[in-house]
A and B are shown apart, each in its own frame.
Chain A
Amino acid sequence: GAGVSQSPRYKVAKRGQDVALRCDPISGHVSLFWYQQALGQGPEFLTYFQNEAQLDKSGLPSDRFFAERPEGSVSTLKIQRTQQEDSAVYLCASSLDRNNGYTFGSGTRLTVV
């Protein structure tokens, strides 16, 4: 597609519920990144894929967070047993290669109540 597509746009989850956030990167983009943005802050790195390989997951805040990209295109970020502190905007970005910049999606705003 023309841009990075994320769904859902908004998600309200009850505390303890599992959620799955989807990212559809730009076709042909090898690298895919997930970021978490709290209100009033800059985005914070969560995890990074190159094709289907998850090369870095050092930013995932706990073992309740899990990301996958099984066929090297669409990626899913899953959060198990959601907590209130998980409320944030989750941004996905893709990049063709290191000489090109990141292109971000519009994000998924997760609110845990």
Chain B
Amino acid sequence: KQEVTQIPAALSVPEGENLVLNCSFTDSAIYNLQWFRQDPGKGLTSLLLIQSSQREQTSGRLNASLDKSSGRSTLYIAASQPGDSATYLCAVREGATNKLIFGTGTLLAVQP
């Protein structure tokens, strides 16, 4: 059974700092991996999608990497801002079932 783990569970950093969020998964038979952001009381906003054949994707200050063989992904946020404060979720799309399996998220607080 696929399990997705995110470390750390919570993170507080001062504004301007670069940071890395970690995601690991137990079964490498994934179709793709998606990073989402969730603000309190809101739905999920897609940040980056990495296909299983890709190594990384970039969007603005965000960079996500994928190492499928070791079951790991990282989300790098450069020059963090208070507006980046949210819960960040990673999810893998299973190849066989088409389901997204989520981690429990990292709660990020960027202090002004």
Question: Which of A's residues lie within 8 Å of B, judged by CB?
Answer: 6, 31, 33, 35, 40-45, 48, 55-56, 91, 93, 98-107, 109
Assuming the contacts A42-B105, A43-B44, asked whether A102 and B98 have C-beta atoms less than 8 A apart, the reply is no
A35 vs B36: C-alpha distance in the bound complex, in angstroms? 15
Assuming the contacts A42-B89, A42-B104, A98-B93, asked whether A106 and B42 have C-beta atoms less than 8 A apart, the reply is yes
Between A44, A56, A100, A101, the greatest number of chain B beta carbons within 10 A of the residue's beta carbon is seen for A101
CB-contacts of B89-112 with A (<8 A): 89, 91, 93, 97-105
Question: Which of B's residues lie within 8 Å of A, judged by CB?
Answer: 4, 31-32, 34, 36, 41-46, 49, 51, 89, 91, 93, 97-105
B102 and A100: CB pair below 8 A? no
A101 and B49: CB pair below 8 A? yes
Assuming the contacts A98-B31, A99-B51, asked whether A45 and B99 have C-beta atoms less than 8 A apart, the reply is yes
Nearest chain B CB to A2 CB, angstrom units: 14
A37 vs B102: C-alpha distance in the bound complex, in angstroms? 10
A34 vs B51: C-alpha distance in the bound complex, in angstroms? 22
Chain B's closest residue to A40 (CB) is B104
B43 and A107: CB pair below 8 A? yes
Nearest chain A CB to B62 CB, angstrom units: 14
B98 and A101: CB pair below 8 A? no
A55 vs B104: C-alpha distance in the bound complex, in angstroms? 26
B32 and A31: CB pair below 8 A? no
Q: Enumerate 8 A-B pairs (CB-CB under 8 Å) in ascending A order.
A: A42-B89, A42-B91, A45-B100, A98-B31, A101-B34, A102-B91, A104-B36, A106-B43
Residue from A41, A48, A91, A109 in contact with B44 in the complex, judged by beta carbons closer than 8 Å? A91
A43 and B102: CB pair below 8 A? yes
Assuming the contacts A91-B44, A101-B32, asked whether A45 and B49 have C-beta atoms less than 8 A apart, the reply is no
Nearest chain B CB to A87 CB, angstrom units: 14
Nearest chain B CB to A108 CB, angstrom units: 10
A56 and B104: CB pair below 8 A? no
Q: In the complex, which residues of chain B have a beta carbon less than 8 angstroms from the beta carbon of A105?
A: 43
Nearest chain A CB to B86 CB, angstrom units: 14
Q: In the complex, which residues of chain B have a beta carbon less than 8 angstroms from the beta carbon of A55?
A: 98
